[in-house]
Amino acid sequence: MNTGYHVVVCGGIVPDPLQTLEPVSTPTGPALKNELVLPATLDPWACHALYEAAHLARQHPGSRVVLVSISPKQRLQQVMMTIAQKVPFELVALDGSASGFTDPAETAGALAEAINGLPGLNRERLLVFGGWESASRGAGVTLQYLAERLAISDVFMGVDELRVNADGSLEVVERIEGGRQQASRCSGPPVVVGWATGKLPEPRNNPQIGMQNMRAIIPVLQRAKQVKIGAEGVTFASVTLPKQLRQTRIVRDATPEAIAREIVEWIKG
């Protein structure tokens, strides 16, 4: 009996979170100021999904981990030089926009086409991983669109843990309101999982894994298929950063009860 899984991780590149981002309007639509020169990294939520996928693959011999990414291939190559040293995976690269100003339905359509075209894909053992949120495509619906395109009905979002039971069923721990968690069980693949932070630390860099990955990644990037995703028909009136509001008042010798009462009154007001 085959106990391996086909784990497909969806993730694009985003500007380094430590950079100052400033939205601007361009003739082709909204963008980020100096976006082409901003340092890039793999989306943090997608990183969690990739690490969880590699951990699952190590536990189940015969598993296969594939990273599907829609990103400008030149910048994706730079990011892969770092990510490739973390865990072993195959790359499917689509040369397209990584901007946050794209339509999630178009993104999901391109991802679904790439996944369906994977050679030797076993849908009965298919696990589709991705980020619950995104530092660029944070609409929160891309994975749901993707699940519909792939005709997968079991979708779990905000996942912190996934366990495989002895009978092959999957137990999934999701975040819900009020800081609580919900444990669900499904009979098995195919499923779509949107990861939160997971429970695994970032793997250490392993140059041997990096060299092994890059031998296959470079040819994949050279023949990356170009895809056009955007937000055709959508007009942006303006793009601005959220305004910061800070009101500071120094009060001495206030009791905790008085502070709490004032905070509640401020929230109500």
Q: What is the reported pLDDT for 234?
A: 65
Q: What are the two backbone dihedrals, phi and then psi, of residue 266, each rounded to the nearest 5 degrees?
A: -65, -40
Q: With a cut of 70, which residues of the chain have pLDDT below it?
A: 1-2, 20, 22, 28-31, 34, 135-139, 230-242
What predicted TM-score, i.e. pTM, was given to this entire model?
0.80
Based on its alpha-carbon atoms, the radius of gyration of the chain, rounded to whole angstroms, reads: 21
CATH code of the domain made up of 6-226: 3.40.50.620
Pairing type for strands 170-175 and 155-164 reads: antiparallel
Question: What per-residue confidence (pLDDT) applies to 16?
Answer: 74
What does the domain layout of the chain look like in residue ranges? 6-226
pLDDT at 1: 46
- For 176-201, write each residue's pLDDT tens digit: 887 788 889 988 889 999 888 777 88
